[in-house]
A and B are shown apart, each in its own frame.
Chain A
Amino acid sequence: MKTNKAKQVAYMAVFLALALIFSYVEALLPLPFVVPGMKLGLPNIVIVVVLYLFGPVPALVINILRVLLVGLLFTNVYSLAFSLFGAAFSFAAMWTVWKVFHGSPILVSVFGGLFHNTGQIVAAILILQVFDAAYYLPVLLVAGFVTGFVIGLLAGLILPRLEVLLNSRR
Chain B
Amino acid sequence: MTNFMRGQKHNPDEQGGRPASQAFLPHREKIFLILLFTGLLILACVFYQTRRGGAAATIYVDSEEYGTYPLAVNRTITIAGEDGAENVVEIKDGYVFMKSATCPNQICVHTGKISKEGQSIVCLPNRVSVYVFGGGTADYDSMTK
Contacts and interface: CB of A to CB of B under 8 A. Distances in A.
Contacts of A138: 40, 43-44, 47-48
Interface in B115-136: 118-120, 122, 124-125, 127, 129, 131, 133
A115 to B, nearest CB: 13
A142 B17 CA distance: 30
Contacts, number: 112
A128 B63 contact: yes
Nearest to A156: B24
B4 A159 contact: yes
Contacts of A51: 17
Contact of A128 (B22, B110, B129): B129
Interface stretch (B25-33, B69-77, B85-93, B137-145): B25-33
Contacts of A55: 16-17
B80 interface: no
A103 B29 contact: yes
A88 interface: no
A164 B84 CA distance: 55
- Secondary structure call for the A interface: helix
A124 interface: yes
Interface of B: 1-2, 4, 10, 12, 16-26, 29, 32-33, 36-37, 40-41, 43-44, 47-48, 60, 63, 105, 107, 110-111, 118-120, 122, 124-125, 127, 129, 131, 133
- 8 A-B pairs with the lowest CB-CB distances in the bound complex, closest first: A159-B20, A138-B44, A135-B118, A160-B4, A34-B110, A138-B47, A163-B20, A53-B17
Given A76-B125, A107-B25, A130-B120, 8 more contacts: A79-B124, A102-B18, A110-B33, A130-B60, A135-B119, A142-B37, A142-B41, A160-B2
27 contacts: A34-B107, A53-B17, A53-B20, A54-B17, A78-B125, A78-B127, A82-B124, A102-B10, A104-B23, A105-B20, A106-B24, A106-B25, A124-B122, A128-B122, A130-B131, A132-B119, A138-B44, A138-B47, A138-B48, A139-B44, A141-B43, A141-B44, A142-B37, A145-B37, A145-B40, A156-B25, A160-B1
